[in-house]
Structure 1
Amino acid sequence: MRKEKILIIGGTGFIGHHTLKKLQKLNFELYSVSTKYPRKSRKVKKVKYIICDISRKKLLDKKLNKGFSYIINFGGYVDHKNKAKTMASHYNGCKNLVDFFKYKKIKHFIQIGSSLEYGSSITPNKENNSCKPRGNYGLSKYKASQYLKKIGKKYNFPFTILRLYQIYGTNQSVNRLIPITIKACLKNKSFPCTNGLQRRDFLYIDDLIRLLILILRKKASNKIFNVGSGKPIKIKKIIKIINTKVGLGKPLFGKIKMRKDEIKNSFPSISRIKNQYKWIPKVSFEKGIKNTIFFYEKYGK
């Protein structure tokens, strides 16, 4: 039987490479699109790596005309301070992909959205809340969601939008809170922090990948879903847990001021995704942090 083809946009990133590692064990032909080849620790066997900038529409026909059944879009520029590149990759890139695939017989387009699409909306965020996106990234993701919904309705285009909250785990780049804190503690550094009173939602990478597999096995819902643990936690508590488990380092709370536009509380209701896919997060925060610390102790000190 011929294998179905899956295209992972952003397959060299943190979530993308974990997704490919899991899909590798299933019966799919795997492709990844990114602007660069993966670093050694994120290269996955039997994956065909395609170099392509999705914000450049003319490249797509040349690079992506391979009869894909499924597309998961993790792609986008990482430095969100650059307004032009953020909008080009996260909004224009998604728009280009949707326009390219809307006339093709695909089974499912999974768009990775963001909690920042809600902006200052009341918490816990619910999918039917009005969105008040803040910043370049939140706005670009929101515009992508709106465009995908419009095309889904007009062309009966099969999609699912997942609004992710904070995803963490092994082999994450050290430009996010948890790996930054772990590495500072492992090096026994004193490090400045905010007062840490912000509340966020953190989901371990394995729980997200398990959900993605469930979604791929179902018919496209053409809905938006929040994806998180459903258990908000203060940033200060996270830093203290890591500090205690490592046994080194010294967080200096209150040495960094919160940004004026920073949202104090951001966490979701996950009732819709739980009911739709009979999915619940299984990895506790304590277990996920233990796994993540072990990875950086072994590979990333």
Structure 2
Amino acid sequence: MEKSDRLLIVGGTGFIGRSVAIEAVNRRFDVSIISKNHCPKLKQVKGVEYIAVDIAKKKDLLIELKDRTFDYVINLGGYIDHCNYFDGGDKVFNVHFNGIVNLVNCIDKNNLKGFIQIGSSDEYGNNPAPQNEIQRELPISPYSFAKAASTHFLQMLFRTEKYPVVILRPFLVYGPEQGDNRFIPQIIKGCLDNQKFPTSKGEQLRDFCFIDDIVQAIFCALNGNIAYGEVINIASGKPVPIKKMIDLIVSVIGSGRPQFGQIPYRKGENMSLYADITKAKKLLNWSPAVGLEQGLEETIKWVKSNNG
């Protein structure tokens, strides 16, 4: 890619987005970031333009993107929320689906070479494992429904107008700098403090993908048009019981007292959610490089150095 390629990262101040921005700067992209709120100076990536705008507000987005063109767009916008529809689901849908429609309408498509949409493994719902991309989505929340609707909207644009989109569907991403309200950072912090903390029985099988691996997958998706119009799982491809993950964190840290069985499973929760990553290997020439133990050690090290 040329040094002058202009890249817009929507949601670029979040956990994944910030890592993507750092990698993009290292690859000499001209990077702009959209986030709903102004990014504090201490968290800003050097050499990046920050645009504060809510993508759910089309008029504001049009004003901010007027006279701007981008070669590539990576959409990491929105937030994870497993609420039921009548508990705020309309807001979740507005951000995730209407937001993507607004982006498509406000971004100059004439210069666009590639649009990477970050979907979610939640789109699979209760499909049997290993989940693969030919399975019909079975959303079980407004969040997963909005993600699935976005997937079909973008694929429609590809089929009808050759819109240059790739939909990546990551499974559970973890790593340094992840917010402490997420599963793995919460467990690590509880263990570092040698606390008793409640968990489910931990029988669920999950697929954990280290942050560096998903960042590399995103840039692989930018490197050509062979994957345009496709949905591609990004994951380790290895099922790990939640209990095993917690026990491994306890073992590495040497402290922590998980109370298994104290938290009930979520209603409708898929007990086996792990990916078939054959398609990613074939179309993107991508495979995960960081094993679970290495990824956890790096994550624990970061949490230790930033704990309090």
1:77 aligns with 2:79: yes
Unaligned stretches of 5+ in structure 2? none
Q: Secondary structure at the match of 2:273?
A: coil
Measured in 1, the distance between the counterparts of 2:114 and 2:239 equals 31
In structure 2, what residue type is equivalent to 1:145? T
What whole-Å deviation, never above 9, does each CA across 1:141-175 have from its counterpart, x for those lacking one?
Answer: 00011111111112111000001100000000011
Q: Distance in 2 between matches of 1:115 and 1:3?
A: 33
Pick from 259, 282, 291: which aligns with 2:289?
Answer: 282
Q: 265, 277, 281: which is aligned to 1:258?
A: 265
- Quick one: distance in 1 between partners of 2:108 and 2:281? 28
Q: State the TM-score, normalized to the length of structure 2.
A: 0.94
Q: 1: CA distance between counterparts of 2:152 and 2:284?
A: 23
User: What is the count of residue pairs matched by the alignment?
Assistant: 301
Q: Deviations over 1:232-283 (max 9, x none)?
A: 1000000000011111110000011112221111111000010112211110
* 1:40 CA drift (Å): 5.4
Q: Take 1:257 and 1:249, find their aligned partners in 2: how far apart are those partners?
A: 20
1:58-97 superposed matches below 5 A: 58-65=59-66, 66-81=68-83, 82-97=88-103
Contact 1:80 1:86 in 2 (8 A): no
Matched, 1:173 2:175: no
SS in 1 for 2:51: strand
In terms of mean alpha carbon deviation, does 52-61 or 135-144 score higher?
A: 52-61
196-205 or 152-161, larger mean C-alpha shift = 152-161
| Matched residue SS, 1:117 | helix
C-alpha separation between the residues in 2 aligned to 1:120 and 1:2?
43
- Distance, in Å, in 1 between the alignment partners of 2:116 and 2:209 is 19
Q: How does 1:92-111 map to 2 (within 5 A)?
A: 92-101=98-107, 103-111=109-117
Displaced runs of 4+ in structure 1, greater than 2 A?
37-42, 77-82, 99-105
Q: Which residue matches 1:271?
A: 278
Structure 1 Cα separation of the partners of residues 108 and 149 of structure 2: 17
CA–CA distance in structure 1, aligned partners of residues 196 and 254 of structure 2: 13
Quick check: 2:70–2:108 contact (8 Å CA) kept in 1?
A: no
Report whether the alignment pairs 1:292 with 2:299.
Answer: yes
What are the within-5 Å matches in structure 2 for residues 7-86 of structure 1? 7-39=8-40, 42-65=43-66, 66-81=68-83, 82-86=88-92
The residue identity in structure 1 corresponding to 2:78 is G
Match of 2:256 among 228, 249, 256: 249
Return 30-39 or 109-118, whichever deviates more: 30-39
1:143 match: 149
How large is the RMSD of aligned CA atoms in angstroms? 1.4
Shift of 1:96: 1.2
- Distance change >3 Å, CA 195–CA 273, structure 1 → 2: same
Which residue of the other structure, out of 114, 124, 131, is the alignment partner of 1:118? Answer: 124
Check 1:42–1:78 CA distance in 2 against 1; reply closer, same or farther (3 A cut). Answer: farther
Alignment partner of 1:134 is 2:140: yes
- Structure 2 counterpart of 1:110, one-letter code: I
Contact 1:195 1:254 in 2 (8 A): yes
2:123 and 2:137 in contact (8 A); partners too: yes
Aligned partners of 2:4 and 2:173: how far apart in 1? 30
Letter in 1 for 2:279: R
Unaligned segments of structure 1, at least 5 residues: none
Q: Is the CA contact 1:124–1:268 (under 8 Å) kept in the aligned structure 2?
A: yes
Q: 1:235 corresponds to which residue?
A: 242
